[in-house]
Amino acid sequence: MDAENLVVIGSGPAGVSAVRAYREAGGAGEVRLLSADADPPYERPPLSKEFLRGEAGLSPIDEDFAKIHDVTVTLDDPVTELGEDRVRTASGAVHGFTTCLLATGAEPVRPGIPGADHRDVRTLRSAADSRALRAAASGVRSAIVVGAGFIGCEAAVSLSRLGLQVTVVCPDDVPQEKRLGRDAGRFLLRWLKAEGVSVLRGTKLLAVEGGHRIRTDLVPVLDAGVVVLATGVRPRTELAEAAGIALEQGRIRTDEHLRTSRPGVLAAGDVALAYNPAAGRALAVEHWGEGLAMGEVAGRTAAGQDAAWAEVPGFWSVIGDRVLKYAAWGDGFDRAHPRPRDDGGFTVWYERDGRTVGVLTHEADEDYERGQDLVRRGAPVPAS
């Protein structure tokens, strides 16, 4: 194929933002976006929040996306093979490319225990998953959410607000203890309880029976109308792996321009382990904003610009009405410094080797904003 053209695999924020940036940077080749998802590109964060509660419909990432950016979008047809200069989809279509972007995101992991793969056991990634969970929740009185990460906490509160009696199975003593530390976990625990959610702390799931009953190491048997697994995700690297593209830590390794080990193939978003020059190392990030940011860099790279991903990753989570903002390199800390405020807000500063590596805030936007700068500069944790 002689003429420049771009094939983007995946219709999440990384794929959509790459197309937009490619055009904005003057990319004039034919653009094709191929997705396994049946719904046109939509915002994923509401799927555990207002969309799950039935308070809002699907929000498109970009209205009139295909028309504005002159892109051919094919939905519901996963790419099954990545060749040297062409891709093949499940329906048998073959598309040549001069540049290809892998923006395939991640998929929920079901723990390797008996019964976790039962068809009534729900996971939450796509709009279809969220619709199915809402439908399952509409006819029952109780739910079990396994996992207390952001998606588990958000979904638990949404289900509770739908009128279900919700129990969260939390593997740590408090939610997200390993990722955010004990103090942040206590805030999350308080919020879940305030929303009427019960939390089984330090509890390990052993089995799911018949899709609606769980066994744990602490509570022998617990029944519920619906069981949701919010037990983490696995990056969708299978196309890259089969094509011999370099992986690291289970993700596609890229440089700061989002280029993989294969010339002409880029990767962005949850599936990538991208080098971040501001951090001085490669980072694995699973945030909406980073999908957009990395996609933008990939799109500009595809258009021939010299763009680099050098942002401090940031994440917002909305648990009921409470907003948490987190900016961090996200790959560990030695000490957490909690700073509760009299007005109910709080900040937790994260430190490693004497440098600020992250900040978590609730109703403390000024700390979130200065935190991003302190993390970028590797400055010490502020005294107040």
Ligand X SMILES: Cc1cc2nc3c(=O)[nH]c(=O)nc-3n(C[C@H](O)[C@H](O)[C@H](O)COP(=O)(O)OP(=O)(O)OC[C@H]3O[C@@H](n4cnc5c(N)ncnc54)[C@H](O)[C@@H]3O)c2cc1C
Residues within the interface to ligand X (CB under 6 A): 9-15, 34-37, 44-45, 47-48, 78-79, 103-106, 124-125, 151, 236, 239, 269-271, 286-289, 291, 315-317
Q: Which among 5, 17, 49 has a CA at the least distance from the CA of 317?
A: 49
Structure letter (DSSP) for residue 39: S
CB of 262 to ligand X, least distance (A): 16
- Planar angle of CA 58, 59, 63, nearest 5 degrees: 130
Helix H or strand E encompassing 252: strand 251-254
For 348-364, the DSSP string reads EEEEETTEEEEEEEES-
Amino acid at 383: A
Residue found under tokens 């700390």: 367
- Burial zone of 109 (CB within 10 Å; 0-12 exposed, 13-18 middle, 19+ buried): middle
Structure tokens at 243: 């094509």
For 73-126, the DSSP string reads EE-S--EEEE-SSEEEETTS-EEE-SEEEE---EEEPPPSSTTTT-TTSB--SS
β-pairing verdict for 94-96 and 265-267: unpaired
> How far apart (Å, rounded) are the C-alpha atoms in residues 80 and 210?
32
Nearest to ligand X of 57, 114 (CB atom):
57
